[in-house]
Structure 1
């Protein structure tokens, strides 16, 4: 909630907290682990049509300045309008340009990872989950059905299993 309240106050355009900051908290609750167990970072996506590095850097610095340690070192902010510019170099896969933050969720490695939340001005939490919430709450990892299995699938599974061995993993079908 601290991260949600702080980011809401910054009024970033089309923002969500997603991925591990969401599903890992659910898995910790389901398995009786401490609240922050296994959470490596808090991924914040926002959408600004200015795809320059300078524009993104302004947002990164603004968000970092809003947090004290240890959160300052755990919050990672990325403009979703820029992901297509660096994705291939980092992950070895093509990535079509996005038109909004929620659209990114449909491209995540697994449906359980594809959940984003935002704290609205009225204190409601809005949820975006293009594949639903079942896999996240059932602790199931399966490949995203809308794309080829991610090149990082095995690494993602191994990392998650090391922290939550209770996971059920459904491996991708091989052609």
Structure 2
């Protein structure tokens, strides 16, 4: 299980949280999903970083966010189990005009090789999916529980706050990194994108 740490124990954690929660959809998702019953889950990826970049460039916090990624971990890797969760979360958030991507991280190794041609590796926690993002900058998870907000940020928050995109070549998915960063830079042109390392 990935527990993360309280926001106030992460360098720049409160600043990050304040900016991310300017996006009302992030706030609503966190408020509602905290009571859903997940043991191990994170709101993660673009919906966090892009909310911050929007605020820092004086745009509406919700601007140009394609989807909201919700990772959870369930050892039941059946398609039906995940589909039931996807349906339940869709109902929970049905009043929001956004796209929610809900994925059981335990199931990722089942389909990853067919999609990308490489092995994903063993998954034991929802945070394993965050660890394997192609970009360190958005490898951040946020959730809310009875004690407040918790962060999972294995590479810290400095890069996302400064608008510097750096690769995470733990998996050889250069094409994913380059395609996604090209889209981001077309929307937020002030982002500084570091190149994928040639020896990765």
If the length of structure 2 is used for normalisation, what is the TM-score? 0.81
Counterpart of 2:158 (choices 107, 124, 134) is: 134
1:17 alignment counterpart: 43
CA contact (8 A) 2:174 2:196 kept: no
The answer to which of 127-136 and 88-97 deviates more is 88-97
Counterpart of 2:63 (choices 31, 34, 37) is: 37
Counterpart of 1:108 (choices 128, 133, 139) is: 133
Pairwise CA distance, 1:90: 2.5
Counterpart of 2:76 (choices 36, 47, 50) is: 50
The RMSD of aligned alpha carbons is 1.5
Pairwise CA distance, 1:125: 1.1
Counterpart of 1:158 (choices 179, 182, 185) is: 182
Give the total of aligned pairs: 173
The answer to which of 10-19 and 62-71 deviates more is 62-71
SS in 2 for 1:11: coil
Q: How do 1:159-174 residues align onto structure 2 when only pairs under 5 Å count? A: 159-174=183-198
1:82 alignment counterpart: 107
Counterpart of 2:94 (choices 68, 82, 102) is: 68
CA contact (8 A) 1:149 1:172 kept: no
The answer to which of 107-116 and 84-93 deviates more is 84-93
The answer to which of 159-168 and 146-155 deviates more is 146-155
SS in 2 for 1:113: coil
SS in 2 for 1:130: coil
CA contact (8 A) 2:169 2:196 kept: no
If the length of structure 1 is used for normalisation, what is the TM-score? 0.92
Counterpart of 1:143 (choices 156, 167, 179) is: 167
